[in-house]
Amino acid sequence: MSFTDLTILFGQENDINTGFEKYIPNIFFIIYSIALFVFYNMRIESAQSGNFIDLLWKIFVTGLLTTVVSLVLKSLDLLMGNTSLIQNPLMIDFLYHIHLGLLVAFLVSTFVVWKRLVLYQKSKLLLRIWRFFEYLLLISLIGNLFSSDIIEYILYPLVIIAVFLSANMKWVAYLNFMQKWKSILLLVLTLLYLVYFYINIEEMQSNYNYLDVALDSVFITSLFIFTAIYAAFSLLVILFNLPTSSVFEQKLEEVVNFQRLSQSIQTEQSANQVYEILLESSVRAAKADAAWIEATIDGKELVFRHNIGRGTILNIKQFIEAERDNNLFDFNNIDKRIKPGKHLKKLKGIDFNSIVAFPIMISEERIGILVLLKELKEGFNSELVNITQTFVNQAGISIEGFKLMSEAIENERYKEELNIAKNVQSRLLPKILDANADFDITAFSEAADEVGGDYYDSFKINDHKIALIIGDVSGKGTSAAFHMSQMKGVFHALAQLDLPPEEFLIKANKAINTSLDKTSFVTISYFVLDRAEKMVKFARAGHCPTLYFDKEKNRASYFTNKGLGLGIVRNDSFAKYVQPRAFSYLPGDILVLYTDGITEAKNFKGDELGYDHLAKIINENAGLEAADLQKKIIAELYEFCGQTDLDDDYTTVIVKFK
């Protein structure tokens, strides 16, 4: 303000000293006006966009300041009375210009605020019209320099545009009841300031007719008219909007409540809280006198009450039960259609006369009921019922969200458990297998799910004998993993007994029978590698035929001995299905153990890798070391499958003799 005041003074003093140069004060006036505009623009710019009362308050403060200064000057004028100083035309001219400066300051500050209000939620067109309005004002301001008659004609379009712009007052709709009253007060004050300035300047002009006739200036006149029109329009619109503001506020509250309900999912509130919010929101939205919600949460029947006792609820429910045939709705049979405004007038001793109920649904399943009560008869119109229904729907969605969320958490926990199982199981498969100077051994295993049913292991029976096992449990996943771990137990218990392979199978069948369910079985091949005899003895229990590469014949072939899976025959007759075999090994021979996940691996056409393909891989790569050969098999397997996922567990154990 001090800056503007200085400008005023400076402007006026120059006016006095250089009275003969007509355009110089005009230039100062233009600079002053533009400076004010820039100053207020900056100040108002920083104000919060939605706080309209704040903006109006700013006008009020500026108006108060300017009118107070103006009044002080006037009272000084009166005090000094008819002294010669006051009668001096120069002095009067000076005072007059100060009054004028104050008016312009008030007008410009108001103009800037109006700009914010007019352009609230602006359209492109509105912005263009506003720009045009500003340019016209600028032209009228600069036009003062030339005091040409043409400038006078700008007044008409300016006033027309001002009226048009004054129709833009969307901000009014966003005021609540209190804010509207405040706005009315501030607008009335603004208009009072304008009236005061008008009378004041008009008076000075008529008293001293040698003054510049400022009110004839197109700039000041149009600015004055615009600020006055907008203030008057806003005042009227707010006045007319006062009675409907409660509706707007209610709508706003509904939106807020709606948001609360939807947000309750994200904020990890419980189902209880959702019901509480629903009860509160519905009571407010439907203006109900009392309400209750019955809901089932985690199998427990819960009742949320608002302004109603348990006894009254029971009374009403019994009454409705009794009157069911009398076209009152049936609580237990209420469907999605609402029957609003039913009467309870027959029910003595209860103040409520209207009742309406809403089922709370989760995907076609009723999880609760909301009942609203009113003392008025026919108290629930369809509008209120609709908005309440929306709340109820949203609450249903929120609660469903909870359910899904807790299910997701549960799933996450299961996943975690499975991961633990996977880790435990991976420890059941040995990383390093027992070997001796006669052979290298390497193994690879991968499960289709987190855990699998494939098994391999080795056991050092004595310094020249090593037991080796490969196995596959029927099925996949968790149950297979359990049986696999049982198989490991059986293997380690029996292997130390140094049994011939057929005996091992017979005992293993007996041992594992008890823990396998009727449809499950385990296939294994059991080998005893004897370094002293340079011989391998083995037997097969339903497992995939063993592939053996014979260096001398330079050819891989499958052993064809018979066998029966463990757990298929659960009596002593199992023994007759076992055919033990033995062979001597030579350096360069390769023993290839695998599970059916490899031979039955499918490509995109549905073709299986097959036994011939596996034998071919071995034939073509028999020169490789055990580890490299294994890598080759896996690489060939992946290449064969391509993009197709392997949906079974797959394992290989390679023994290369040297």
The residues pairing with 541 across neighbouring beta strands, listed in sequence order, are 524
Site for other proteins in 457-496 (CB under 8 A): 472, 474-476
Alpha carbons within 13 angstroms on the beta-carbon side of residue 429 total 25
Distance CA 465, CA 496 (A): 11
HSE-CB for 458 with a 13 A CA cutoff: 21
Binding mask 269-308 for other proteins (x = CB under 8 A): ----------------------------------------
Least spacing, CB of residue 648 vs other proteins, in Å: 8
| Minimum CB–partner distance for residue 527 and other proteins (Å) | 17
Task: Measure the CA–CA gap between 380 and 610, rounded to whole angstroms.
Answer: 74
Report, in Å, the least distance between residue 458 CB and other proteins. 23
DSSP 577: G
Q: Which stretch binds other proteins (CB under 8 A): 198-206, 287-295, 348-356, 561-569?
A: 561-569
- At closest approach, how far in Å is the CB of 647 from other proteins? 9
Residue 415: CB minimum distance to other proteins, A? 20
233 binds other proteins (CB under 8 A): no
With residue 541 as reference, give the H or E element that holds it.
Answer: strand 535-541
Please check whether residue 143 is in contact with residue 23, taking contact to mean a CB–CB distance below 8 angstroms: no
Determine the Cα–Cα distance for residues 594 and 581; give it in Å rounded to an integer.
18
Nearer to other proteins, 541 or 591 (CB): 541
Least distance from other proteins to the Cβ atom of residue 604, Å? 16
Distances (CA, A) of 509 to 92, 467, 517: 124, 17, 13
Specify the DSSP element, H or E, that contains 297: strand 290-297
CB of 504 to other proteins, least distance (A): 16
d(CA 359, CA 294) in angstroms, rounded, equals 10
Nearer Cβ to other proteins (155/524): 524
Is-contact 418 445, C-beta < 8 A? no
- The interaxial angle of helices 610-620 and 626-641, nearest 10 deg, is 140
Q: Which of 112, 175, 564, 598: binder of other proteins (CB under 8 A)? A: 564
Pair 516, 567: CB distance under 8 Å: yes
Question: Which residues, 583 to 612, sit near other proteins by CB under 8 A?
Answer: 596, 608
* Minimum CB distance to other proteins smaller for 363 or for 514: 514
Residues 327-366, one symbol each (x = binds other proteins by CB under 8 A, - = not), give: ----------------------------------------
Minimum CB–partner distance for residue 346 and other proteins (Å) = 57
| Of residues 162 and 568, the one with the C-beta less far from other proteins | 568
Q: Which of residues 507-526 bind other proteins (CB under 8 A)?
A: 518-521, 523
β-pair partners for 472: 454, 523
Note whether 542 binds other proteins by CB under 8 A. Answer: yes
- What phi and psi, each to the nearest 5 degrees, are found at residue 539? -145, 155
162 binds other proteins (CB under 8 A): no
Nearest CB to other proteins, comparing residues 541 and 618: 541
Ramachandran angles phi, psi of 433, nearest 5°: -95, 155
C-alpha of 258 from chain center: 15
Read off the tokens for 181. Answer: 């009253």
- Considering only residues 155, 441, 568, 590, which one is a binding residue for other proteins as defined by CB under 8 A? 568
User: Smallest distance, Å, CB 575 to other proteins?
Assistant: 13
Residue number, 401 or 545, with CB nearest to other proteins: 545
**Which residues of the shown chain bind other proteins in the complex (CB under 8 A)?**
472, 474-476, 518-521, 523, 541-545, 562-565, 568-569, 577, 596, 608
